[in-house]
Amino acid sequence: MTIRVLLADDQALLAGTFRLLIDSAPDMEVVGIAATGREAIELAQATNPDVVVMDIRMPDVDGIAATQTICADPALRETRVLILTTFELDEYVAQALRAGASGFLGKDVGPEDLLRSIRAIAAGDALLSPTATRTLIARYLARPESRLGAAESLEVLTAREREVVTMVAEGRSNDEIAETMYVSPLTVRTHVQRAMTKLDVQNRAQLVVLAFQSGLVRVEPPR
């Protein structure tokens, strides 16, 4: 199946470079390029992409607001947003994750890492394993306003679901979790989806944040 990608970046040269790279992959195609946040929203609604590669700092409507609008649209519930930013520890990244983004990368990402990340996002994984992201989450969760949803704890989960959520928060993919638990990736995906439904979160990225937030998984505070 071809992964349909929408690029949202006001830097034409960078967007064009990404387009050449993505279109060269046999399993991907670029369905549009947006130069503003508003255009990203309109193109997402028109093309229904699998993944939106979104710059945070966009004219007109910024990437955070555009991400929130896209992720809140029921017609785009299968669309995932991958944030690109010049500053990997930019405080706005946390807001983007809260808005529904599935992960983020620095703009200096290598070609193969970008393609690999798009595939991971399209498959439902979250890009939350790098140390920089863990540090970001720790900073974000230190704020009193960092609550994501109504769930106050993970008590609503079964023991098996808690085990799966723990491994998701550790940055493991469905395949890696399945290998550890001696079950199929489909079974893991079912556990993840049930946990997300019970905890009222939109995606794996928010599930990871809630795992840290609840204390199920701990991270050292940034120095």
Residue 135 confidence class, pLDDT cut points 50, 70, 90:
low
Residue range 106-115: average pLDDT?
85
User: According to the CATH classification, is domain 149-214 in 1.10.10.10?
Assistant: yes
Between 126 and 136, where is the model more confident? Answer: 126
Residue 75 confidence class, pLDDT cut points 50, 70, 90:
very high
Residue 120 confidence class, pLDDT cut points 50, 70, 90:
confident
For residue 150, pLDDT beyond 50 = no
* Range name among 34-43, 74-83, 209-218 with the lowest pLDDT average: 209-218
Among 67-76, 86-95, 207-216, name the most confident range: 67-76
How far is Cα 219 from Cα 138, in angstroms, rounded to an integer? 7
Q: Which of 68, 26, 24, 75 is nearest to 49 (CA)?
A: 75
| pLDDT of 68 | 92
Dihedral angle of Cα 96, 55, 218, 148, to the nearest 10 degrees: 10
Q: Where are the domains of the chain?
A: 3-123, 149-214
CATH code matching the domain that covers 3-123, chosen among 3.30.70.1710, 3.40.50.2300, 3.40.50.620, 3.40.1190.20: 3.40.50.2300
For residue 147, pLDDT beyond 60 = no
For residue 100, pLDDT beyond 70 = yes
Q: Name the pairing type of β-strands 28-34 and 103-106.
A: unpaired
How far is Cα 209 from Cα 75, in angstroms, rounded to an integer? 25
How far is Cα 1 from Cα 4, in angstroms, rounded to an integer? 9
